[in-house]
Amino acid sequence: MSTDPPAKVLVVEDTEDTADFVKLLLSAEGYDVHVAYNGEDGLRAVRDFAPDVMLVDIQLPGIDGLELTRRVRADPATADAAIIVFTAFVQEEDRRRAFDAGCDGFIPKPFPVQTLRDEIQRLLDARRSR
């Protein structure tokens, strides 16, 4: 039995139903989950909560998900968080812009739950192997 603390996941999503569903789902999987409903709150939360993984919607009011990603990457205190962008915008240009901003994963909405689980685990495993 592992005594490691649960991985911390920050969900930054302005659609409250979606954010709350993802929190419920990931909490049931054993993750420590915090939700922010806009980019400004997400930026504060990444500093205070120190997540292992962030799930960030691209289309957020105020600071959008790509700008949030750039700011997280630019701050040495937060730059190590793994960032998964999840969005309804799934053109190749959206994917390229997300990776250029510094994200580690890209999941189109709506997403299969298993895809989300797998992507989080992939990034946590990569983080542990560093």
Residue 77 contacts by C-beta under 8 Å, 6 or more apart in sequence? 47
CATH superfamily assigned to domain 8-128: Response regulator (3.40.50.2300)
Instruction: For 6-24, write each residue's pLDDT tens digit.
Output: 999 999 999 999 999 999 9
Of the candidates 38, 33, 124, the one whose C-alpha atom is nearest the C-alpha of residue 81 is 124
Is 40's pLDDT higher than 90?
Answer: yes
In contact, 77 and 51? CB cutoff 8 Å? no
How many residues can be counted in the chain?
Answer: 130
pLDDT recorded at residue 1: 47
Beta strands in the chain (DSSP E): 8-12, 32-36, 53-57, 82-87, 105-108
pLDDT of 3 reads 59
**What does the pLDDT read at residue 2?**
53
> 10 - beta bridge partners?
34, 54
Contacts 24+ apart (CB under 8 A), 115-118: 116/22, 116/25, 116/26, 116/55, 116/86, 117/29
pLDDT: which is higher, 127 or 48 = 48
Q: What is the pLDDT of residue 79?
A: 95
pLDDT of residue 110: 87
Instruction: Read off the pTM.
Output: 0.93
The domains of the chain are located at 8-128
Q: Closest Cα to residue 42, out of 100, 94, 85?
A: 85
- Indicate the helix (H) or strand (E) that contains 24: helix 16-28
Residues 42-101: tens digit of each pLDDT: 999 999 999 999 999 999 989 999 999 999 999 999 999 999 999 887 788 888 999 999
